[in-house]
Amino acid sequence: MSAATAANPVANPAASAPAMRQVGLGKAVGHSLTLAGRNIRYIVRSPATLVDTIIQPVLFLVVFVFLFGGEVAGDWHTYLQTLVPGLMVQITLYASVGTGLALNTDIAKGVFDRFRSLPIARSAPLVGAVLGDVVRYALALTVLLGLAFAFGFRVQTDVLSVLFAVLLVIGFGLTLCWLSVLIGMVAESPQAVPGIAMSLVLPLTFGSNIFASPDTMPGWLQAWIEVNPVSHFVDAARGLMLGGEVAGPVLWSLGSMAVILAVLFPLAVRAYARRARS
């Protein structure tokens, strides 16, 4: 290879390759946290991006409690107690859709082209986007629980159990967020992301035990609910906040998180690498 070719990034494709690469775990974590801070600062400077995060918990709680509470549980006060832990899981899943949309939008605007020129870990932009959404999940849960307590929801356990339930639900949201990231990497345009994501999120949420007891449902649906990871997280949240079995649902929940992350994380990173090369 001539010196002129090596100095010319157009003639030398290797010289124009993305700077992002595989690095040590410590550096990768540092890169990811830096980009997570960038995303959090953007949210703080642009609070309008949180409007849907604030409105959704209010709408879900008001609509399901007051429209369906009497029919499902006999009165809306009883239904409120059962529904709130389930809604905690649902709104984190819905909030995760915004991650894939934001990533796809950044790619369309060329933001990721700048990331490619930096000597950072290949997964850092994706991990940073996911970690930055902790603010979104925490805000959504705060709004939901604040309104629920105002309506009369009462915890039957203790503060530490409630805190663990919140952390568990946020952890599930961060795990399922990789599904949204994967969709954001493969979707052709930002407009396509919400439709694809919701077509997968809706069966997970409505095909679960969030809104009604599986005992009232047909056998084929009960079978799906039993394997649906959302149901395990709902059982864990209810046990931690209202009392009842905790160990089994929590173990199932943690196992589901490990499996989902092991599957979706490498798929999302590969999809990003393919898109970066295109």
Burial category of 57 from C-beta neighbours within 10 Å (exposed 0-12, middle 13-18, buried 19 and up)? buried
| Grouped pLDDT means (10 residues each) for the chain, 278 residues | 42 43 68 78 73 86 90 89 94 87 82 72 81 86 94 94 95 91 90 90 92 90 93 96 93 94 92 76
| pLDDT for 23 | 63
Provide the pLDDT for residue 86: 94
Assessment of whether the complete model's pTM goes beyond 0.75: yes
What's the pLDDT score for residue 84?
Answer: 95
Q: For residue 211, what is the enclosing H or E element?
A: none
- What is the pLDDT at residue 18? 46
Give the model's pLDDT for residue 13: 39
Residue 38 · residue 128 · CB < 8 Å: yes
Q: What is the DSSP letter of 190?
A: T
The HSE-up count of residue 227 (CA atoms within 13 Å, CB side) is 6
Place of tokens 């959404």: 133
Tokens matching residue 131: 């970690």
Spell out the domain ranges in the chain: 22-277
pLDDT of residue 151: 94
Q: Which of 113, 33, 162 is nearest to 278 (CA)?
A: 113
Residue type, 145: L
Say what the pLDDT of residue 21 is: 54
